[in-house]
Every structure is written in C-alpha cells, then in structure tokens.
Amino acid sequence: MTETVKNRGWTMTFAGLGINLALGILYAWSMFKSAIESSIKAGGPDAFTWDLAKVNDPYSVCCLVFAFAMILAGKCQDKFGPRATACTGGLLVGLGLTWISQSTSYTAWVLGFGVLVGAGMGFGYSASTPPGLKWFPASKTGVIAGLIVAGFGVAPVYIAPLSGYLIKSMGISQAMLVYAITFVVVVCGLSMFLENPPAGYVPVETGNVTIKKKAAHNDVHWKDAIKTADFWKLWAIYFVGAGAGLMIISSVAGLAKKSMGEYAFLAVAIMAIGNAGGRVIAGILSDKIGRYQTIMAVHLFQAVLMLFCIPLLGSQHTNAVTIVLLATLIGFNYGANLALFPAIAKDLWGIKSYGVNYGILFTAWGVGGFVLSKVSQMLKITTGSMTSSFVIAAILLCSSGVLTMTLGSKEVKVKEEELEGAFFHPGLGLTMADGGEKINPEEERKS
C-alpha cells in the first residue's frame, strides 16, 4: 500500500534559510567589536573597561561554544526533531542578547554572547539544515546545503548597516536588546515550519532522471566515523578553512575603517554577499566536480588572497574598491567550507545520524575560529599589525589544500543495492517533483 505525500522540501529550505538569516548575527561581530573598542578608548562612566587584548574573546568563545553545542543539538535534532531544537536555539540567543544589553562587563559578555548566544546558534543552525536535506536526493545535497547555510553568511548584509544605525542612535546595549526581541520572534516562528519527512518516504524522480538507480545504504554511527583517518583529516582541513575565514571576519570592519571611515560597514555587508555566494556556488560546483576538488581549490585560492593582503595592511592609501573586492573573495572562499563539509558528512556517513556526525565534525569550525581569532588579536596587540596573522593563515591554508589530496579517492563509500522504480535513499525526498510516495515498511521488506 502506498500513499502519496506532498513534497515540502522547499518549505524546509526557506524556513532554514530564514532561521540562519537571524542567527548570522555572529558575522557582524566586527561592528560590535569596533563599538566596544571605541568605548574603551573614549572612557566615561558607562564605557566598556576591558583589556584591548581581550576584545575578541566573546566572539572566540561564541565560535567554540557554537561548535560544541552542535553535538548536543545534533542529538536533539535526531531524537526530538528540528522544530523543538530550533525553537530552543532562538530562546537561548534571545536570553544571551538580553543579558549583555544590560551590562558592559567583560564576564557578562563572555557568558551572554559567548556561551548563551553561541549555544543558541548551535541549536538553531543544527536544526535548519537536516530537514531540507532529508526531503531532497543525494544529487542535490550540495546545492540545498549551500542554499540553507547561505542565510547565515548573507545575514551581515542587513545586520551590518542596521547595527551601525542602532549603535549610533541608541548605543550598543540597546541595539542588543532590539536584536534579542526580534530574533526570538523570527527563529521561534520559523521553527514551526520545520519537519522531517514521514517514515518510509520514497522520492519519485521526474523529468529526465533515470528511474533505475542504485540505493546508498551508508548510515554510519559517530563512533565508527571518528575511527577513520579521513575524519581527522577533514577535521584539520575544516579547522584551517574556518579559522582563517573567521579571523578576517572578526576584524574586517577595523581593517576597512582606514580607507572607508564610517562606511566600513559596507565592507562587512559585501563580504557577507561573497560568504553567501560561496556557499551556494561551491555547493553547486561540488555536485558536479566533487567535494574534495572544490575544497582544495578554495583553500589554495584563500592562501593566495591572504598573501595579497599583506602589502595593503601598512598602506595608508588603500583603495576602498580593493578592500571590498578582497573582502568579497575571502568571504566567498570561507563560505564555501560551510556548504562543502555538511555535504561531505552526509555523503560519507549518511542521514540517519547526520546531526551528531556533522556536529562532531563542526567542532573543527569552532576550535579553528577560537584559536586563530585569539592568536590574531594577540599578535595584533604585540606587533601592531596583522601581517603575522596573514602569513600564518596562508601557510596553514596551503597545508590543508595539500592534505585534501590525501583523502580517500572515493568520496562516498556505500553498500550498493539495485532498486527498481523510484530512487530510494533512507530519509530523503525528491528534488523538483510535487510529491512522493510513503511506502509500507512491511511491503518494502517483502519486495
């Protein structure tokens, strides 16, 4: 007995994208950091009184907590579903932003922005991607993952100018309160649209897709995934790609101020466009030429860009167009990682334990962001320049690009089984079709 089920993949995709648009406040940190630094230098009764070497700490901690929260959030997503998980994320972000809106304390910002907002981002981000992937077939994994996570990357396009306006008109504390209220409403509201496809949902391919396919049964438990050498190679590559990108993102407003003044927020916004574009384009490209080849290309290109930035750092007359172009390209390469690694996690280890498997791999993103942004800030205070940071990042990116070539030649290692009729992959749905079939498990076993 089969039952026709309407495909809701695009609803999941755009709901996830919307959630990430709110959670992408992380990438506007350079705007908040600039305001905090200005407050420290200006002084006064209500000013921030932090050590300048510690200004990046809330951001660094946020990246770290975000990443490790993804493991717990992944388990929650796999067990309780995406709706409750995403809503929990929205509430945590709102609570953290509300707390820091009432304080200029270093500790409050590390705990409020770093821990609570970071955990909330982990829960929301973890729940936004799997529902979309589960309604689509393997042939669209890259592009769907890219579209959903693009929301997180493109968020600074509106958050950067909005933050500039709010900070200027009401101060950074009140700006955080406005974000707290808004993001709780948006994230919790959109989470109500998220749901997994029903058990036994089978896609019905349309158009020119061949009806007879091979089904992939490659669901791997996290304990088995982490025993492989490729897992740790991927972790190291992700660490470098994410850390190098986050290092620049956390400082781009300050770097742009020299040549763009009060319009430095434009560099942040345009970098976000590159960030989002990299996620979508890399996702599409990886579906065609392979994930590993795409990763190697973006890491080596990013290394070249890092070296190209060095002579511009000490210049007092750097053209604003050059700054914007570099920011866009760096954002593009960084964003590519956020589409490629979720796709690789699904390719290699399947969808059944996707939340936990990708959550563990995603710790590389958090550790990379924490370590390299922290090192970058310390080197800047010590040397007065970011030159050393760019050199270190370029060397690491070249190394990770080379490391990609040592990964297993087969990106998807599966036990294959011939299936007649529709192309079946456990838990996945169709791509551009209007519906699919829900197959009785008993009948499936008999066939």
Write the pLDDT tens digit of every residue in 391-419: 888 999 999 999 998 887 544 433 333 33
What confidence score (pLDDT) does residue 114 get?
93
- Do residues 4 and 434 touch, judged by C-beta distance below 8 A? no
What confidence score (pLDDT) does residue 96 get?
96
- Do residues 269 and 160 touch, judged by C-beta distance below 8 A? yes
* Residue 434: pLDDT over 60: no
* Residue 437: pLDDT over 80: no
Q: Which fold has domain 2-446?
A: Growth Hormone; Chain: A; (1.20.1250)
In the DSSP assignment, the letter for residue 113 is I
What confidence score (pLDDT) does residue 259 get?
66
Indicate the range of 1-10, 201-210, 348-357 predicted with least confidence: 201-210
* Residue 62: pLDDT over 70: yes
* Residue 154: pLDDT over 70: yes
What confidence score (pLDDT) does residue 92 get?
96
What confidence score (pLDDT) does residue 412 get?
41
pLDDT band at 4 (very low <50, low <70, confident <90, very high): low
**Length of the chain in terms of residues written:** 447
Rounded distance, CA 410 to CA 105, Å?
51
**Percent of the chain whose pLDDT exceeds 70:** 79
118-134 and 9-23 helices, crossing angle to 10°: 160
What confidence score (pLDDT) does residue 295 get?
92
* Residue 208: pLDDT over 50: no
What confidence score (pLDDT) does residue 335 get?
85
In DSSP terms, 435 is beta-bridged to 6
What confidence score (pLDDT) does residue 430 get?
28
* Residue 432: pLDDT over 70: no
Structural domain spans, the chain: 2-446
**Percent of the chain whose pLDDT exceeds 90:** 22
What confidence score (pLDDT) does residue 342 get?
83
Question: What residues have CB less than 8 Å from 353, skipping those under 6 apart?
Answer: 78, 219, 220, 221, 222
- What pTM was computed for the model? 0.71
Tens digits of per-residue pLDDT, 267-321? 777 777 887 888 888 888 888 888 899 999 999 999 998 888 777 665 556 677 7
pLDDT band at 261 (very low <50, low <70, confident <90, very high): low
Where do runs of H (alpha helix) occur along 199-264? 222-225, 229-249, 252-260
- Do residues 82 and 192 touch, judged by C-beta distance below 8 A? no
